[in-house]
Structure 1
C-alpha cells in the first residue's frame, strides 16, 4: 500500500481485497480514536520508530497530531481471517471485524 496519503477505510479494504496485499509495512492514523468507519479517512504512513523505549512517530503524523489507529500487520491479519471465515463478507462485516478486534483483542466469530 502506498504510504503518506489519506484514504477512506473503504479504499483501504478494497486495496487489500483487490491487490491481495501482502506487505503490512504501514500503519493507519487519525485525528481521533474510536470505532473505525467506512467513510472516515485515515492517514497511511510508516510504523513508529522505537527510540530509547519510546515511540517516535513519522513527522507528518506528529505535525498533524494524529493518533495510531491500527498497525498494518494487525489490520491485514484481521481482514484475512474474516475473509477466510466469511468469503462473501460485506465491507461493513469487515469493519465490524476490525472494531471487534480493537475492543476484544480477538478475532470476531462469524456465525453461519
Structure 2
C-alpha cells in the first residue's frame, strides 16, 4: 500500500492540526459511514506521533502519515491518495487499486 499526500493536503494538516516535524497522523477504519470501497465503515484519522507496526507509512514535509497493521483490512488492495478539497476546506481521500499509481 502507498499513501500519497499532496502539497495542498500537507498544508491543510499542518495548519488545521498544528503539525510540525516529527509529528504523525494515523488513518484507520471505523464503524459507520461509507467510502467508495466499503459500506458500513468510514475512514478516520487522529494525531499520533508513534507509529506502532505500520502497514504503510509515508513522510511528507516532516510528518509521518500512516496506517497501522491492525487496519490493513480496511486498505487491503488499495493505495490512498490524500488531496485537499477547497469546497469542503478539508482532505479528500481517493482509493486507487494497488498498482494503478
Indicate whether the TM-score tops 0.5: no
Q: Which has the higher contact order (CA 8 A, sep 6+)?
A: 2
TM-score (norm 2): 0.30
Which is helix-richer, 1 or 2?
Answer: 1
Structure 1 or 2, whichever has the larger Rg, is 1
Which is strand-richer, 1 or 2?
Answer: 2
TM-score (norm 1): 0.28
